[in-house]
Amino acid sequence: MTLVREPGATGLAVLAEIWREGRAAQLSLEARGPVEASAARVRAAAQGEVPVYGINTGFGKLASVRISPADTETLQRNLILSHCCGVGEALEPATTRLMMALKLLSLGRGASGVRWEICALIEGMLARSVTPVIPAQGSVGASGDLAPLAHLAAVMIGEGVAELDGERLPGGAALARAGLSPVVLGPKEGLALINGTQFSTACALAALFEAERMLRAAIVTASLSTDAIMGSTQPLEAEIHALRGHAGQIDVAAAMRALMAGSAIRESHREGDTRVQDPYCIRCQPQVAGAALDLLRFAARTLEIEANAVTDNPLVIGAGIISGGNFHAEPVAFAADQIALALAEIGAIAQRRVALMVDPTLSFDLPPFLTPAPGLNSGFMIAEVTTAALMSENKHLANPCSTDSTPTSANQEDHVSMAAHGARRLGRMNANLAVILGVEALCAAQGVEARAPLVTSAPLRAAMGALRAVVPALGADRYMAPDLEAAAGLVRNDALARAAGVEVGL
């Protein structure tokens, strides 16, 4: 199915669908008129005597060098080939396709000066699954994501490398096999293709979509952990959170109240419990996860705007062609740093709950390391250590990237955003967090089962059922790695949240 989009008005749900389900994207036909009009203005400028950056001049520090009309096509082709300097592992195909869709949306705004033919080729590549191989390293996030986007443009001119039907092929061969033809780039078209934030934005969006699932899973695992250690639900009362007023905190507390309502475990210790207060990792989950949710929502708004933005340079505005700096990815870098902070803190507080449950001095009479035969068996002892390692790794990864900068291109591009690797690191952080939350789910389920014949609430029993369908309860010690992988998979595919009916989102 192809999604027909109006440039400037594409929401996160559609972008998530493109990323998760591999949908193709196509511009609405209403976009064609403005696109062609801007292309005509660029063609006229290329023939004129007035220097216009990137149209009849060189690039970057070489902007003062005039280029003759006869060399326009060579100028654009050379730009693409010279900028194909990406290194490292290839970007995942799903994120590459999202990047292509974002570039299409940007060009479709009619301010980039490209012909409709350029947009049509990107549409064709998406529809026929020609996916350029994009080395993931090499962008500093200004002047746009030059190197990675050059690898996209290279395939469009018949160069580079692309994947098609599970096979890597030279770009021209991949286009031919798909029944598509490469383009010869006209004035500014190469520059329009590589000047922009679409690589950084696609990576940040992919991480955001995963982070939303992490947040939902954390609401479930925290609720299970609270019942496992026979914690209080009093800190979830609505009045507490209304008095503070933060929307994320209010939403997380409400979701946890709904999840824990009807728990026989909770009802069993409302009276006579000698404990006055639970540790912060239990008591303050709404405050911590809620703050993380607020950060994710703020980042979501930033990235939704950026996904619909025109971020190349110069721009065709009215009758003029104006140089600016929309290619600077500082908003994306800030959003990526915010997502990183949220992921690190969701994991940090979850890890403390894991540590709480395996410690017999803190778990309110759960067996040591949650094994029925401690001593002979180690139970979840080293699973907890793994969560500590991943938590610490995520803390280091959460250090800001946006505060770093270095001058490039002979000091012409003297402040950069570092949005590209700021966004890319989030994939690793999400993977780490999924394991932390998966281990918390395993420990909490084991703890809740140890409270038998008392049972938890219906929604949490449903979540435990989804978990137990892939990972049985731990009796004697066994090879643990597959259990951790399976539990992390339930977090990443939203299965725990779906089973429990948690719908908190961006």
Query: Residue 394: its pLDDT value, please?
Result: 98
Cβ 408 vs Cβ 359: under 8 Å: no
For residues 83, 85, 89, 91, the Cα torsion angle rounded to the nearest 10 degrees is -10
Examine the pLDDT at 319 and tell me if it is beyond 90: no
Query: Residue 448: its pLDDT value, please?
Result: 98
**Can you say whether the dihedral through the CA atoms of 220, 222, 223, 228 is positive or negative?**
positive
Whole-angstrom Cα distance, residue 98 to residue 248? 28
What percent of the chain has pLDDT above 90?
A: 85
| The two three-digit tokens of residue 83, written as one number | 């900028």
Cβ 215 vs Cβ 105: under 8 Å: no
Mean pLDDT for the stretch of residues 130-146: 93
Mean pLDDT for the stretch of residues 19-35: 94
Whole-angstrom Cα distance, residue 114 to residue 278? 61
Cβ 418 vs Cβ 332: under 8 Å: no
Query: Residue 6: its pLDDT value, please?
Result: 78
| The two three-digit tokens of residue 5, written as one number | 């989009």
Instruction: Provide the whole-model pTM.
Output: 0.95
Q: In the predicted model, what is the mean pLDDT of the chain?
A: 95
Mean pLDDT for the stretch of residues 332-347: 98
Q: What is the pLDDT of residues 485-498, one digit of tens each?
A: 999 999 999 999 99
Examine the pLDDT at 292 and tell me if it is beyond 70: yes
SS3 state of residue 284: coil
Query: Residue 415: its pLDDT value, please?
Result: 87
Burial status of residue 276 (CB atoms within 10 A of its CB: 0-12, 13-18, 19 or more): exposed
SS3 state of residue 57: strand
Rg (CA), the chain: 26
Examine the pLDDT at 131 and tell me if it is beyond 80: yes
Whole-angstrom Cα distance, residue 315 to residue 325? 10
Cβ neighbors of 382 (< 8 A, separation 6 or more) are: 480
User: CB atoms < 10 A from the CB of 74, how many?
Assistant: 12
Cβ 345 vs Cβ 291: under 8 Å: yes
pLDDT range class, residue 349, cuts 50, 70, 90: very high
Closest by alpha carbon to 348, among 297, 393, 283, 294?
A: 393
Q: What is the pLDDT of residues 415-458, one digit of tens each?
A: 889 999 999 999 999 999 999 999 999 999 999 999 999 999 99
| The two three-digit tokens of residue 198, written as one number | 């679409």
User: CB atoms < 10 A from the CB of 97, how many?
Assistant: 24
pLDDT range class, residue 64, cuts 50, 70, 90: confident
Cβ neighbors of 35 (< 8 A, separation 6 or more) are: 107, 108, 110, 112, 114, 115, 116, 119
Cis peptide before 314, with omega less than 30 degrees from 0? yes
Examine the pLDDT at 478 and tell me if it is beyond 80: yes
pLDDT range class, residue 59, cuts 50, 70, 90: confident
Cβ neighbors of 289 (< 8 A, separation 6 or more) are: 215, 218, 219, 222, 248, 252, 346, 349
Whole-angstrom Cα distance, residue 28 to residue 14? 14
Cβ 370 vs Cβ 357: under 8 Å: yes
Query: Could you give the C-alpha distances from 255 to 38, 156, 284, 496, in angstroms and in order?
Result: 49, 48, 14, 14
Examine the pLDDT at 63 and tell me if it is beyond 90: no
Closest by alpha carbon to 81, among 200, 195, 198, 190?
A: 190
Query: Could you give the C-alpha distances from 214 to 6, 52, 57, 229, 364, in angstroms and in order?
Result: 30, 47, 48, 22, 27
Query: Residue 52: its pLDDT value, please?
Result: 86
Query: Residue 213: its pLDDT value, please?
Result: 98
Whole-angstrom Cα distance, residue 28 to residue 160? 29
Whole-angstrom Cα distance, residue 235 to residue 266? 13
pLDDT range class, residue 217, cuts 50, 70, 90: very high
Provide the annotated active-site residues: 53
Cβ neighbors of 176 (< 8 A, separation 6 or more) are: none
Closest by alpha carbon to 380, among 393, 365, 368?
A: 368
Examine the pLDDT at 49 and tell me if it is beyond 90: no
| The two three-digit tokens of residue 412, written as one number | 């012409």
Q: What is the pLDDT of residues 70-102, one digit of tens each?
A: 888 999 999 999 999 999 999 999 999 999 999
For the chain, how far is it from start to end, CA to CA, in angstroms? 25
Bridge partners (DSSP) listed for residue 91:
none
Query: Residue 325: its pLDDT value, please?
Result: 93
Q: What is the pLDDT of residues 151-197, one digit of tens each?
A: 999 999 999 999 999 999 999 999 999 999 999 999 999 999 999 99
Mean pLDDT for the stretch of residues 141-145: 88
Query: Residue 129: its pLDDT value, please?
Result: 97
Examine the pLDDT at 69 and tell me if it is beyond 90: no
Query: Residue 1: its pLDDT value, please?
Result: 61
